[in-house]
Amino acid sequence: MVAASSLSVALAVGTGTAWALNRYVIDHVEISNVKEYEAKQQASASNAAKDYSSSNVKTTVTDSSYTGANGTVKVEQIATGSGNNTVTYYVATVKLTDATALKSAFANNQFGRNITQKTSTIASNNNAIFAINGDYYGFRSSGIVIRNGVVYRDDGARAGLAFYRDGSVKIYDETSTNGQKLVKEGVWNTLSFGPSLVKNGKIVEGIDDVEIDTNFGNHSIQGNQPRTLVGAKKDGTLVFVVVDGRDAGYSRGVTMTEAAKIMLEQGCVTAYNLDGGGSSTMYFNGEVINEPSNGGERGTSDILYVEKLS
């Protein structure tokens, strides 16, 4: 989450110019065609993702739901409070026929640093019926990044979230394992941001004191902020929540503890915080359904999505 004013200061200070450009602006492409790269990696794996193309399940889409061969998505808007204490958020409940139907995609179909596109653009390019912004992996160089069963980065640094092929979702310590081991254990996707909000059905202690990426130019993630949250119920149902914020009278945003409570209210036994602020975006059936706090979408490096199957 880059503060524009802070970036302007950095660019104005002589020796800091090159650093700031390199850190925030210049693309650093490590893999130029992710789809091609993933296809090669998955082709050599014995447990490649399930092909849903032969399914006879009829696809139906309404303004608030999707039913296809790969599962169901139901979205709803919830508003609580009143006046300047109003909180507005969007909940997507996702039940998949196969856990690998939850996919990830990178901006510009490239992997690296500072590569961004709008969530809606990445979603549209990948035929998504539903999508949220991801963990903004491209803003940092650490963390374990596994996407669609392929290891892209293997530098454990924090508590991460892992989605397994069997449908389980777990919070784990990145520093106690590695990417290849996780893939062998059945991990399909990982997220590396945080903090963890709910673990074993209880709110994680100390979440209102955690800071993520507090280096120069970043906003604090604490206080009332827009949020993107992901969680799982005991039966494996996935829950995605985007909380709007920074708009008095419509939605003030929420604290970390309030975010955790929302996920508990949605029945989650596991929940995790993703990149928020102006990045918080939920996309469904061809459009952004929330109101990003920047007055419009902000570019991000990655999304989680469910493909629309006809």
Which pLDDT tens digit goes with each residue over 79-101? 999 999 999 999 999 999 999 99
Per-residue pLDDT averaged across 109-115, rounded? 96
Q: What is the pLDDT of residue 53?
A: 57
Q: Which of 4-8, 61-65, 116-120 has the lowest mean pLDDT?
A: 4-8
Whole-prediction pTM: 0.88
Task: State the Cα torsion 52-54-60-64 to the nearest 10°.
Answer: 0
- Residue 66 to residue 60: CA distance in whole angstroms: 6
pLDDT at 240 over 80: yes
Question: Would you state the pLDDT for residue 295?
Answer: 85
Least trusted range by pLDDT, from 28-32, 80-84, 144-148? 28-32
> Helices then strands (H, E): number in the chain?
6, 21
CA proximity to 189, closest of 226, 232, 243:
232
User: What pLDDT is attached to residue 11?
Assistant: 41
Residue 183 pLDDT grade (very low, low, confident, very high; cuts 50, 70, 90) = very high
pLDDT at 21 over 70: no
pLDDT in tens, 281-304: 999 999 999 999 988 899 999 999
CB 108 within 8 A of CB 117: yes
Taking residues 6-10, what's their average pLDDT? Answer: 40
Task: State the DSSP string of 69-137.
Answer: TTEEEEEEEEEES-GGG-EEEEEEEEEESSGGGEEEEEGGG-EEES--B-HHHHHHHTTEEEEEE---G
Written as six digits, the tokens of 132 are 């949220």
Handedness of CA 175, 181, 186, 187 (dihedral sign): positive
Predicted confidence at residue 221, as pLDDT, reads: 77
**What tokens were used for 295?**
């007055």
Number of domains in the chain: 1
Question: Mean pLDDT, the chain, as a whole number?
Answer: 89
Q: How confident is the model at residue 42 (pLDDT cuts 50, 70, 90)?
A: confident
| Residue 33: predicted pLDDT | 93
Residue 107 CB-half CA count within 13 A:
24
Give me the domain span that covers residue 40.
4-307
Sort strands 268-273 and 196-199 into parallel, antiparallel or unpaired. antiparallel
Q: Which pLDDT does position 131 carry in this prediction?
A: 98
Cβ 246 vs Cβ 239: under 8 Å: no
Residue 1 pLDDT:
43
Residues 304, 281: contact at Cβ < 8 Å? no
Handedness of CA 295, 299, 305, 308 (dihedral sign): positive
Say if CB 293 and CB 247 are below 8 A apart: yes
Q: How far is CA 292 from the centre of its chain?
A: 15
Q: Is the pLDDT of residue 254 over 90?
A: yes
**Paired residues of 164 in beta bridges:** 187
- For the ranges 19-28, 55-64, 107-116, 157-166, the lowest mean pLDDT is seen at 19-28
- State residue 224's pLDDT score: 93
pLDDT confidence of 51, banded at 50, 70, 90?
low
**pLDDT at 4 > cutoff 50:** no
Q: What is the pLDDT of residue 114?
A: 92
Q: What is the pLDDT, as a whole number, of residue 210? A: 79
Residue 85 DSSP SS3: helix
Degrees, nearest 5: CA angle 155-161-166? 115
66 pLDDT tier (thresholds 50, 70, 90): very high
